[in-house]
Structure 1
Amino acid sequence: MTNDKPAQEQASQPGREDKMRPRPDYEPRFEGAGKLQGKVAVITGGDSGIGRACAVLFAREGADVAIVYLEEDEDAAKTRMLVRGEEREALLLRGDIADPDFCRNAITETMKAFGRIDVLVNNAAEQHPTDDFQSISPEQLIRTFETNVFGYFYMTQAAMEHLGEGAAIVNTTSITAYRGSKHLIDYSATRGAITSFTRSMAQYCAPKNIRVNGVAPGPIWTPLIPASFDAEKVENFGEDQPLGRAGEPNEVASCHLFLACDDSSYMTGQVLHPNGGEIVGG
C-alpha cells in the first residue's frame, strides 16, 4: 500500500490543518449513541488533528466542548463550527498550556460557561526532529517539556477540583514512548513521562472513582507532521507500518471516546495503541 500524502512542509509549529493536502479525516465514523450525553469535555490541542476529531466525536456523543488551542484561530473556528453542527456548544480558549495561569483561567472559563467538567483530554504537543543529539539545545529541551509534560500537569491540577466521581482523564502519549525514536529523543522522553504520569495519576485518582488512561498513537496525519518533517519524510509518512499507511485522526479519537465514557468503566492506568499494527510493550 502506498501513501497518498504529497510532499509538503509547514514553516512553524504546531501547524495548520487548513493548509494540509489532503485534509486529515476528522469526521466521526458512526452515528452517536449518547455516550457523553450532558457532559462537558476540555480538550487541549482541540483545534486540529486528533484534538479536532475528539471534539467533533464527543459532541456527536452529546458533550459540550471547551477547545484549548495555542494560536491557530482559523482551525479553532472551524472546529467550533463542526461541534455546533452536532448541536452542541463549543468554547474557544486561546493560550499556551505551558503557562499555569492560563491553564487555571481556561478551567475557570469552562466552569463559567458550562458549570461542570466531566472529561479532560490532555492532547496538545510539539516535537522538533533532530538528527544530532548533541545539538538539542536547552531552549528546545525546556520548551518541549513545558508543552508536553508541564502543560498536562498544569491542566490536570487546574481541573482536578472540578472533576467528580465518574469523571475521566485521557492523556495522549505516543508510540515513541514505547519504542523510542533516534530523531525525536526529547519528544520521546516527554511521551514516556506522560505514560508514567498516566499510571501514577490513575492510582492517585482511583479512590475518587476518577479514571485516568492514555492513548499512544503511531503515525497519524495531523498538522504536526508537515510542521515537523521535511517534504520527503512527509511523502513517505507511515508507509513502514504493517498496515502500510498513516492513520487518520478519526481512527484515534474513537480510542479517546472509549476511555472517556462508561464503556471503559473498569479500565484505569491503561494505554491504547492505534498505531497501524506495530507491536509495542508486549
Structure 2
Amino acid sequence: MRKWKLFGEGMIYLFPAFLILGIFLFYPMIKTLYYSLFITNPRGETVVFVGLENFLTLMQSASFQNSMIQTFKFVLYTVPTGVFLALFLALIANEKVRGIEFFRVIFSSTLGVSVAAGASIWLFMFHPSLGVLNNLLQVFGLDSIGWLTSGEWALISVSITTVWMGIGFNFIIFLGGLQNISQELYESALIDGAGYFARLFKITIPLLSPTLFFVVTVTLINSFQSFGQIHILTGGGPNEATNLIVYSIYKEAFEFSRFGTASAQAIILFLFILLVTIIQFKVGEKKVHYQ
C-alpha cells in the first residue's frame, strides 16, 4: 500500500507534464499517423481509408525522391560547416586576450536574430543587382551569380543562411564546454613541451567530445526541420531545387490540401530522424569521453 501511495503521489506531480505532452506532442503524433492512412478533403476531413497507399505513392513520386535528395545535400552542406565554424570561433574566443569579450558578443549575436529577420537580411544580400555579394564579385571582375534564381546555387545560398543563423547557438555551447576544461591540464602539457595542435587534439577535443556530440546531434535534427529560411528565400524553388521534405510537407498540406500525403511525409521524416539519432547514439557516443 505504501508503494502504491508513493506511486500515486508521483503521478499527481507528473500529471501537468503528462497533460501538456499529451496535448501538444502525443495527440498530434497520433493524429498525423491517423491522417497518413486516409485521403482527406480540402477541409482536412478523412474521406477514404487507403492504408499504406500514401506511403507507396510517395516512394514512387519523383518529386518526393527529389525532396529527399535535396534534404540530404542540405544536411551535408550545413551540419559539418556549421559545427566546424562554431568550434573554430569558440577556440578563438576562448583565448585570454584583451577585448575578447567584444568578439564573444559578436560571434554569438546571431542567436538573437529570428529566422524571419535573418532570412530577410540574406535575401537582400543575395539580390542579383543590389546585393552585396554580387557587387563584391563585380569589383574583382567576376560575373554575377543568381544566388536564389539558379538551381545550382539556390540550395547553397539557403545553406549559407542556415549556417550563419545556427553559429550563435553552437558557439555559446562550445565556448561553455571549453571553459569547463581544467587549465591545469594545459599547464602540465606546456611543461612537457606540447605544442598548440598537440594540446588541441590530445586534450581539448577529447574533453570537449560530450559537447561536440550534443551540438552535432542538435544541429543534425534542426537541419532536417529547416523551414523558415526556405519559405522566405526561395519558396522551394527554382524547379524544386530547395524543396526540402519539411517544405514539401507544408506545400502538400496548406497549398494542395492533401493532408493525408503530407502526414505520410511527416511520418517518414520522423522515422528517418529517429533512425539517424539512434545510429548517432550507438556509434558516435562510443567515442565520447565523459571524464
Classify the TM-score, shorter chain. under 0.3
Larger Rg: 2
TM-score after normalising by structure 2: 0.23
**Larger helix proportion, structure 1 or 2?**
2
How high is the TM-score relative to the length of structure 1? 0.23
Higher strand share: 1
